[in-house]
Structure 1
Amino acid sequence: MGNLPHVRPVGRRKDGRPIYPIKGGAPTLLEQRDEIIALLQDPNYDGDVAELMQRADTVAAAIEQAQQRDARLRQLQGAMPPGDPQPQPNQRQQPGMQPDANGNQHPLTVAEQFVRAEALRMFRANGCVGKFAVDFDHRAAPSGTVTTGTMLPQNNRQPGIIPNNPDFPLLIANLLDRQTSDGNTLEYMRDTSGPQSSWNNAAVVAEGADKPKSGPFTFDLITTTLKTVAHWVPITRQAADDDGQLMGYINGRLTYGLEYKLDREILTGNGTTQMQGILTTAGIGAYQPPSGNTDSKLITVRKAKTQGELALYPPDAIVMNPLDWQDIELDTDANGQFRVITTVTDSGAPLRIWGLTVVTSVAMTAGTALLGGFRMGATLWERQGVTILMTDSHADFFLANTLVVLAERRANVAVHTPAAFVKITFAALP
């Protein structure tokens, strides 16, 4: 084909002679890229592999440089220094702007923007049915509203978004049997028969003799309603639209707030204006070391477990304050060895003591604990799980371009077997 110094060869024959493009002209970057890709994929290629790899690097660098050049060109074309002449008539005008008699652009009034809005045209075309929105400048948002300034958006933020749900420990709610309610009113029978010794008269009976009668079995019909737990936070529409990370964080914290409150309601709800708490239910057992007894908290829990077993409701878990659990984990023998934990590095293991699952919660008052057969003794009835809602239909938030993010859930606790629970009161430390 002859020597063409201005044309780069696209390959070489087995005898070393260069192969030039058939068209006779310099190949484009895409043609060079495709040629190199084909050669790299060819398992029978027996040319100079090192030279081929060098060409691949050169073409890749040239393509990247061309892309950067194109990006700079578009960036420069969109730049407009102060005092620069107005755009040509065939250039697109900025939204919300119109030229005056001299060709200078000035902002449209609110009325002009409304009349010219595409949303208004579509609204009229649809027979003026429904509603539409036109973006204007609004008044300042209410005090305390979350704005884009709360957490400024960052380009290419690393290492990623904040997780939506905090990594909190096992919830007290997870200890209970959980069921779904179909309505708002909750009715259930509460067993108030008391210890088995008061109603169980079963006995060996001689042939022909009368059989003993057991009882009485006593129940209370409990009628209550599901309670709504909710909270909300205001956030500007811009923050909700522009910052997905902030929005995810808010949703996660609102959800965590409901779970946090549910834990406390299960323990201490008053049963009237609040959910029914286990600790406020009449008929639960109680254990406290005798006066003058200095049993450690570790021993006290074991004796309270026996009391629950004697009531024929084997305990499966215990809820205690973190300070009390700390005392139990730090309990040592005469040789200074920990009694409960075998190694302090095993912090990720499930918490257990005397075969019981341990849940630590600040909702439990320090110096006390709740032990029981949670699944046997109570049921958490839920009408709905956690629901996240968003709207601008609150007060005058629509005028402030502000949204409400609301999180709520509806639930209540049916403590149908109070005798399955034992409240523990630890002895005061000397």
Structure 2
Amino acid sequence: MSNFAKIRPIGRRRDGRPIYPIKGGAPTLTEQRDEIAKLLADENYDGDIDELLQRADKVAADIEQANQRDARLRALRSATLPAGDPQPQPGQRQQPGMQPDDQGQPHPVSAAEAFVRSKALESFRANGKQGKFAVEHRAAPAGTVTTGTQPQQNTRVPGIIPNNPDFPLLVASLLDRQTSDGTTLEYMRDTSGPQSTWNKAAVVAEGADKPMSGPFAFDLITTTLKTVAHWVPITRQAADDNSQLMGYINGRLTYGLEYKLDREILTGNGTTQMQGILTTPGIGTYQPGVGNTDVKLITVRKAKTQGELALYPPTAVVMNPLDWQDIELDEDNNGQFRVIANVTDPGAPTRLWGLTVVTTVAMAAGTALLGGFRTGATLWERQGITILMTDSHADYFTANTLVILAERRANVAVHTPAAFVRITFAAAT
């Protein structure tokens, strides 16, 4: 019989009589530890040493886990919320801007929520809504460094960004997005043209000379980040209402910036504006030949082939809503739609020939842009959306009206123009 089978007292009463464990009751971790320690110290123990060591390891691990759990519990109970971070009481409706994000994190998930949660807005209201303040919200990981002793360094892109398809809602979402630490952007633009013209890789015999690929051609592009901004008036009464503030910021200011950003990405002139993809030298073009009456559905498919032949597989196509309407409503000779659209679920991803479709009025009707967007271009942002509020604007002070301004600084680096194809649809007959 092993020593564990012996019934041992687990304590003594006040009168000295022993207390035995309840039959069938499991020993505590303390009891197991003391019992195993006693057996390990017993030089005359003749039981299974390996089994005893395994039990010792298990009990030690269980005790460590219990200690960690106790430490976490004590830390949680002693944790306190920072001052000025009110939490809703049970049953109390949460105020706008206090909701957590999709992962349950308490930090703001939009520029509007960052604004209404800010200490700056709280102080602005407490001071009678006088003066001026700004709140910045950066959706991308922070990378900005501010210093008063060293000049800001230009942001130089070290190479070509690999392809990684996305499922966007906006043109900006199609691009790779990065954070710039300065106001000047430098990057290398590949002007080599289609890869098939420089790729000289070949099978060679043993000892023979290996072919050299090329020629390669790169231009160093130096540009600056551009500021996109606009403002709207708001009454002092509305400035006290978080719901109205978020409505103004999300419904007017943020949407306006996003729309303008999409237009700049497509058609910016690259000098006084951002660099637009359509205005970048070296992008491919496709247009049905003279007398060719291909419908728009077929034209997009042939343009996709051109992009694939350039060895930059397209991932998306951007077009005007009128052109997309023509494609969706295109019928064959039997009156059947050529494209099967999901009319019962407008939120479903829109695709054509395996490409993500983005429709926007920023693209002129009769044209489209097809390409490997994350392969060909990167959107560099100096800051997220910054929201400013002030009472110092012309006659608005005497009219009890404030100003809310939204701005962002960004530019597009079109480093691989050959990844894009501009489509011009055949004129309707």
Above 0.5 in TM-score? yes
Q: 1:133 to 1:302 in 2, by over 3 A?
A: closer
CA root-mean-square deviation = 2.2
Instruction: Report the equivalent of 1:325.
Output: 324
- Specify every segment of 5 or more residues in structure 1 that has no aligned partner in the other structure, as ranges: 1-131, 137-168
Q: In structure 1, what is the equivalent of residue 170 of structure 2?
A: 171
- Structure 2 residue matching 1:281: 3-state secondary structure: coil
Rounded Cα–Cα distance in structure 2 between residues aligned with 1:201 and 1:193 = 13
Which structure: larger Rg?
1
Matching residue of 1:422 = 421
Contact between 2:196 and 2:311, CA under 8 Å: does it hold in 1?
no
1:249 correspondence with 2:247: yes
For the 8 Å contact 2:342–2:348, the answer to whether it is kept is: no
2:200·2:213 contact (CA, 8 Å) conserved in 1? Answer: yes
Q: CA deviation at 1:135?
A: 10
Classify the secondary structure of the residue corresponding to 1:249. helix
| Alignment-derived partner of residue 269 in structure 2 | 270
In the other structure, the counterpart of 2:362 is 363
Q: What's 1:307 paired with?
A: 306
Q: CA deviation at 1:381?
A: 0.7
Deviation at 1:247? 2.7
Match of 2:383, SS state, is strand
Q: Secondary structure at the match of 2:248?
A: helix
Residue 375 (structure 1) aligned with residue 406 (structure 2): no
The 1:235–1:290 alpha-carbon spacing in structure 2 relative to 1, beyond 3 Å, is: same
Question: Which moves more between the two structures, 249-258 or 332-341?
Answer: 332-341
2: CA distance, partners of 1:349 / 1:133: 47
C-alpha displacement at 1:325, in angstroms?
0.5
Provide the rounded CA distance (Å) in 2 between the counterparts of 1:247 and 1:184. Answer: 30
1:391 is matched with which residue? 390
Q: Tell me: CA distance 1:133–1:377, structure 2 relative to 1, closer, same or farther (3 Å).
A: closer
CA distance in 1, matches of 2:400, 2:274: 36
User: Which residue in the other structure is 1:205 paired with?
Assistant: 204
1:30 alignment partner in structure 2: none
Q: 1:336 to 1:412 in 2, by over 3 A?
A: same
Structure 1 residues 248 and 342, CA gap change in structure 2 (3 angstroms): closer
Task: Please give the secondary structure, in 1, of the residue aligned with 2:421.
Answer: strand
Residue by residue over 1:105-144, the C-alpha shift from the partner in whole angstroms, topping out at 9 and shown as x without a partner, is xxxxxxxxxxxxxxxxxxxxxxxxxxx96899xxxxxxxx
In the TM superposition, structure 1's runs of 4+ consecutive aligned residues that sit over 6 Å from their partners are 132-136
Give distance in 2, aligned partners of 1:239 and 1:342: 42
Aligned match of 2:315 = 316
Rounded to whole Å, the distance in 2 between the matches of 1:233 and 1:134 is 20
What residue in structure 2 maps to residue 296 of structure 1? Answer: 295
Q: CA deviation at 1:403?
A: 2.0
SS at match of 1:307: helix
CA distance in 2, matches of 1:197, 1:320: 28
Q: Distance in 1 between matches of 2:381 and 2:342?
A: 40
2:258 corresponds to: 259
How far did 1:331 drift?
Answer: 1.4
2:227 is the alignment partner of 1:228: yes
In the TM superposition, what whole-angstrom CA distance separates every residue of 1:32-74 from its partner, at most 9, and x where no partner exists?
Answer: xxxxxxxxxxxxxxxxxxxxxxxxxxxxxxxxxxxxxxxxxxx
Q: Residue 409 of structure 1 aligns to a residue in which SS?
A: strand
Matches of 1:188 and 1:370, distance apart in 2:
23
TM-aligned CA distance change 1:203 to 1:135, over 3 Å = closer
Question: 1:391: Cα distance to partner?
Answer: 1.6
Per-residue displacement from partner, 1:349-404 (whole Å, max 9, x unpaired)?
A: 21100000000011111111000000110011111121211122345655554322
Instruction: For 1:278, give the aligned amino acid.
Output: I
Mapping 1:129-168, distance limit 5 Å: none
Q: Which moved more, 1:416-425 or 1:225-234?
A: 225-234
Q: Quote the residue 2:337 is aligned against.
A: 338
Gaps of 5+ in 2: 1-125, 131-167
Q: Considering Cα pairs closer than 8 Å and 6+ residues apart, tell me whether 1 or 2 has the greater RCO.
A: 2
The match for 1:140 is none
Distance 2:128 2:193 in 1: 67
Q: Which amino acid aligns with 1:283?
A: G
The alpha-carbon deviation at position 254 of structure 1 amounts to 0.8
C-alpha separation in 1, matches of 2:210 and 2:412: 39
Q: Partner amino acid for 2:208?
A: A
1: distance between equivalents of 2:388 and 2:354? Answer: 42
Query: Deviation per CA, 1:5-28, whole angstroms, max 9, x where unpaired?
Result: xxxxxxxxxxxxxxxxxxxxxxxx
Residues in 1 aligned to 2:169 and 2:128: alpha-carbon distance in whole angstroms? 47
Shift of 1:340: 1.1
Helix, strand or coil: the match of 2:382?
Answer: strand
Q: Counterparts of 2:129 and 2:235 in 1: how far apart (Å)?
A: 14
CA distance in 2, matches of 1:396, 1:366: 41
User: Contact 2:129/2:236 (CA < 8 Å) preserved in 1?
Assistant: no
Q: Which position in structure 1 is the counterpart of 2:217?
A: 218
How far apart in 2 are the matches of 1:309 and 1:135? 58
Any idea what the Cα deviations from partners look like across 1:162-215, whole Å, max 9, x if unmatched? xxxxxxx81100000111111111111100111123222222323333222221
The answer to whether the Cα contact below 8 Å between 2:380 and 2:413 also exists between their aligned partners in 1 is yes
CA distance in 1, matches of 2:324, 2:424: 13
Q: Separation in 1 of the partners of 2:337 and 2:323?
A: 15
Residues matched between the structures, number? 266
Q: Distance in 2 between matches of 1:280 and 1:181?
A: 23
Partner secondary structure for residue 384 of structure 1: coil
| Structure 1 residues 206 and 408, CA gap change in structure 2 (3 angstroms) | same
**Counterpart Cα distance in 1 of 2:239 and 2:211:** 71
1:282 aligns with 2:284: no
Q: Aligned partners of 2:183 and 2:399: how far apart in 1?
A: 35
Inter-partner Cα distance in structure 1 for 2:373 and 2:342? 29
Instruction: Provide the rounded CA distance (Å) in 2 between the counterparts of 1:236 and 1:296.
Output: 52
Aligned to 1:67: none
